[in-house]
Amino acid sequence: MAARALRVRDVTGEEEEAVRRLAHSRTEPARLVERARMVWSARRGRTASAIAQELGIGTGTVRLWLRRFNAEGPAGLADRPRSGRPATYTPEQVSEVIATALTKPEALGLPFGSWTLDRLRAYLTEVKGVPIKRSRIDEILVTEGLRWRTQETWFGERVDPAFAEKRGPSSPSPRRHLQVVR
């Protein structure tokens, strides 16, 4: 029995162009390009086994994506949302973490001049009612593009701008010993 060419439904010029663009793209996600190549090859009369062999995938996979394309068009080639673990923290809680980290502790009536992850965790848990771990606070802040600065407080100026004047001059460097050449 000869292998039958897969039948792809009649497509509009717009759909044909979208599939062609995706199949030959170098910037779109690889999965999307591969799926578009399946449709492109099937439109050219290739069989499922020939397409599968060419792309190094199973014939069942080729048939799945062609069915999805026939049902939904180019939009059917995209990944569908998958189930997974729901977010641990609501967007409101995440924004509370960020807003607190960006607020000076003195403005909240706290007796220290800068935040640490431990202080943020304690404040968020006790005052704001957001039970959160230090590591998760760090992840949220890094995701937002905020990072810890060694010589500064969280995202702001030094705790004491007059520190250098109060400290006084630095100690001089040790004198270099000259080597005697004989």
Which of the listed residues 48, 77, 106 is the one where a domain comes to its end?
Answer: 77
- The verdict on residue 39 lying in a domain is yes
Quote the tokens at residue 18.
Answer: 């979208």
When pLDDT is averaged across residues 57-67 and rounded to a whole number, the result is: 93
* Residue 140 structural domain: 91-156
d(CA 75, CA 38): 14
* Greatest alpha-carbon span in the chain: 97
Q: Are residues 63 and 24 located together in one domain of the fold?
A: yes
The answer as to whether 18 is a domain residue is yes
* Residues 25, 70 within the same domain: yes
- Is 157 in a helix, a strand, or coil? coil
Please tell me the total count of domains within the chain: 2
pLDDT tens, residue by residue, 65-121: 999 999 999 999 998 888 888 888 889 999 999 999 999 999 999 998 888 899 999
Residue 181 belongs to a domain: no
Residue 121 phi, psi dihedral angles, 5° rounding: -60, -45
Q: Has residue 84 been placed in a domain?
A: no
**Residue carrying the six token digits 């607020």:** 103
The answer on pLDDT for 137 being more than 80 is yes
